[in-house]
Amino acid sequence: MELLNRHVTVRNFLQKAIEPKLLESIICSGSRASTTGNMQLYSVIITEDAEMKQKLAPLHFNQSVAVSAPVLLTFVADFNRFSKWCKNNKAEPGYANFLSFFTAAIDALLVAQNTCVAAENYGLGICYLGTTTYNAKEIINVLELPKLTFPVTTIALGYPEEIPNLTDRIPIRCIIHREKYKDYTEDVIRDLYSYKENLESMKEFVKENDKETLAQVFTDVRYKKSDNEFFSEKMIQTLREQGFMD
Amino acid sequence: MELLNRHVTVRNFLQKAIEPKLLESIICSGSRASTTGNMQLYSVIITEDAEMKQKLAPLHFNQSVAVSAPVLLTFVADFNRFSKWCKNNKAEPGYANFLSFFTAAIDALLVAQNTCVAAENYGLGICYLGTTTYNAKEIINVLELPKLTFPVTTIALGYPEEIPNLTDRIPIRCIIHREKYKDYTEDVIRDLYSYKENLESMKEFVKENDKETLAQVFTDVRYKKSDNEFFSEKMIQTLREQGFMD
C-alpha cells in the first residue's frame, strides 16, 4: 500500500496538460467504486478552460491551486439523471429529499477518493478543495447544475512540480474504537495531539497567526464558528433550492 | 489500476479471522487520505464481537453480510475529539452546525474508500452497508456515540468465499461533463441505460419483483419515496440530537 501511504496534497503543478485519454481512464477507474444499489448517483464536471477556472477561483476563495492546476474535477451528487431514467420508464422517482441527497453525496465522495488513488497511480498530484460546499450555490450557477444535483467536493489535478513531505497524522490508536466508542479524557487528548502541537511547522503556524495555541488557529482563523454557521444556513438553503428538501 | 478496475462487492466471506495487525495497518493506510485542514474528523468503530454484530444486524435490515462478515467497520463523522482538543487549548470550538457535520462526513467517507482500497490490496473483500444512515439513531445507541459524532457508512470486511463477476457501469461519457453540466435528453437517457436494462440479470430482477420496468424495481421496491421521506426526517432529527443543528 505504498501508493496510499505516500499520499500528499500537491498545490504546485507543472504547466503540463493531462492527456484526455489518461484523464478519462482515471475517472473510469474512479467510477469502479461501490455506489448505493449500483445507482451511480454522481456526475463529474471537468474544468480545463481558463475562463471557467477564473469564474470558479473566487468561489474557492482564490486558492492559487484552483487557478494553476491544469484540471479541476467537481464531484456532484446527482439524482437528476437517475430520476429522469425513472420517469422515462413508467416509474415515479421519490428522491427530492435529504436522505437521497446524502446517499448521492456518499456515492460522489467514494468515487472522488477512488479517482484520487487512480490519479496518483499515474504520477499525478491532487488537492481537495473543501470550499465546494461553502459556495455550492455559486458553483451550481457557474457549472449550470440542474435540480437534484449538488457539488460536494472538487479535486485540483496535475503533474506535481515537487512532492511535498508527508504530513502528520494523529496516532491510529485514537481513531480506532473497539466495539464501542471510547470517549476521550483530557489526558488522552493531550497525549494524542502533543506530537502535532510540537511540530516546528505547527509552532510556526501559531506564531504566523499571532495566536497562543494551535487550536486557536483553527477556531479563530481557519474554521470559525461565525463562518460555519453562515455557510451552514447557506448550504441548507441551497439544498432546498436544488429540490433536496421537498 | 488493476486493483480499482477489478473491484466488486463481496457478500460471502470465509470463516477466517483478519489478523489484528493487518486490520490496523489497513485502517492506517486508509487514514492517509486527505481530510479538511488535516483535522481528521472521523473515528472508526471495529465490530468483531458476535453479540455486537447481533445488535447491529437488525439496524442493517438483517442483511446476512452484516452478521457473517468477520469484521464491520463503522465510519463516524467525528467533531467530538477535535472539539475536546480545542477546549483543552483555550479555544472555543464552533462545530455544532450542519456545515461541520458535512465536513466531517466528507473526511469519514474519503477514509472509508481509502480503507477499502487498502483492504482489497491485501486480498480482502468489502461490502458497503448503506443502511447506516437509515438507522443512525439506533447505531449511535449501540456504539455509544457521543454528541458531535454521526455514523455515515459501514464496511463489512473479510476474506472472500468467491470473487463475484464485475458489475455493470453506465458508460463513462454520461458521467463526465465538460466545463458545464449537459442535461440529459430522453434519447440520451434511453441510450445510456439500455445496456443495463438488457442484462439478463436485470431482466430476471424485474421478473422476480413482478414489475414492468427495471426503474420500477428501484422506485417501488428498493428505494421508495415513502421510505426516503421517513428516513430523511429521522436523519435530520438525529443530526439535531447529536448537536449538529444548533
List pLDDT tens digits, range B87-116: 999 999 999 999 999 999 999 999 999 999
Band (A181; pLDDT cuts 50, 70, 90): very high
What is the average pLDDT value for chain A, to the nearest integer? 96
Residue A41 near residue A108 (C-beta atoms within 8 A): yes
Mutate to test the interface with B, among A38, A179, A188, A212 (most CBs of B within 10 A): A179
**Sequence-separated (6 or more) residues with CB below 8 Å from residue A218:** B37, B39, B82, B86, B91
Give the closest-approach CA distance of A233 to chain B in angstroms.
Answer: 8
Q: What is the pLDDT of residue A120?
A: 96
Q: Rounded to a whole number, what is the distance in Å from the CA of A163 to chain B's nearest CA? A: 15
Strand B71-78 with B149-158, pairing:
antiparallel
CB contact under 8 A, A170 and B1: no
* Dist CA B49 CA B34 (whole Å): 30
Band (pLDDT 50/70/90 cuts) for residue B184 is very high
Q: Quote the DSSP letter at residue B222.
A: I
Tell me, rounded to whole angstroms, the distance of Cα A43 from its chain centroid: 14
Residue of B106, B114, B137 to mutate when probing chain A, most A C-beta within 10 A = B106
Q: Which of B33, B95, B181 has its CB closest to that of A144?
A: B181
- The label of the residue with cell 500500500 reads A1
pLDDT one-digit tens code per residue, A45-89: 999 999 999 999 999 999 999 999 999 999 999 999 999 999 999
Return the pLDDT at A190: 95
Residue pair B133/B101 in contact (Cβ under 8 Å)? The answer is no
- Backbone torsions φ then ψ of B156, nearest 5 degrees: -90, 135
Q: Does A219 touch chain B (CB under 8 A)?
A: yes
Residue of B nearest to A217 (CA): B91
Distance CA B82, CA A195 (A): 15
> Which residue ranges form the domains of chain B, and what is each CATH number?
2-165 (3.40.109.10)
Question: The pTM is what?
Answer: 0.97
Contact B44, B73 (CB under 8 A): yes
B33-78 per-position pLDDT tens digit: 999 999 999 999 999 999 999 999 999 999 999 999 999 999 999 9
Checking if the pLDDT of A1 tops 80, the result is no
Angstrom distance (rounded) from CA B34 to CA A10: 11
Calculate how close chain A gets to B80, using CA atoms only, in Å.
9
Mutate to test the interface with A, among B44, B86, B165, B237 (most CBs of A within 10 A): B86
To probe the interface with B, which of A23, A41, A86 has the most B CB atoms within 10 Å? Answer: A86
- CB of B244 within 8 A of CB of A232? no
> Is A4's CB within 8 Å of B114's CB?
yes
Residue B50 contacts A, CB cutoff 8 Å: no
A7-16 residue pLDDT tens: 999 999 999 9
Query: What CA–CA distances, in Å, run from B151 to A101, A203, A221, A232, B112?
Result: 16, 33, 28, 19, 12
Q: Is B199 on the interface with A (CB under 8 A)?
A: no
Q: Does A228 touch chain B (CB under 8 A)?
A: yes
CA B218/CA A37 separation, integer angstroms: 9
- Calculate the alpha carbon distances from A85 to A137, A140, B123, B195, B235 in Å: 25, 22, 36, 13, 27
Nearest CA in chain B to A28: B172
Give the Cβ contact number of residue A216 at 10 Å. 19
Positive/negative CA dihedral, B138, B141, B143, B147: positive
Residues whose CB falls within 8 Å of the CB of residue B232, separated by 6 or more in sequence, listed in order: A97, A98, A99, A100
Is B88 near chain A, with CB under 8 Å? yes
pLDDT band at B1 (very low <50, low <70, confident <90, very high): confident
B170 vs B195: CA distance, rounded Å: 8
- Average pLDDT (A90-119) is 98
Q: Is B99 on the interface with A (CB under 8 A)?
A: yes
- Give the alpha-carbon dihedral of A56, A61, A65, A71, to 10 degrees: -20
C-alpha cell at A182: 471510547
Query: CB distance from A105 to chain B under 8 Å?
Result: yes
Specify the pLDDT at position B152: 98
d(CA A76, CA B181): 10
Question: What is the DSSP secondary-structure string of B22-74?
Answer: HHHHHHHHHTTS--GGG---EEEEEE--HHHHHHHGGGGTT-HHHHHSSEEEE
For chain A, positions 155-194, list CB contacts with chain B under 8 A.
167-170, 172, 174-181, 183-184, 186, 189-190, 192-193
- What is the per-residue burial (b if ≥16 Cβ within 10 Å, else e) of A138-168? ebbebbebeebbbbbbbbbbbbbeeeeeeee
Distance (Å, whole) CA A226 – CA B95: 10
B83 inside 8 A of chain A by CB: no
pLDDT at B246: 85
Nearest by CB to B94, which of A46, A130, A228?
A228
**From CA B58, how far away is CA B77, in angstroms rounded?**
22
Q: Which residues of A touch B42 (CB under 8 A)?
A: 175
Contact check, Cβ <8 Å, B232/A105? no
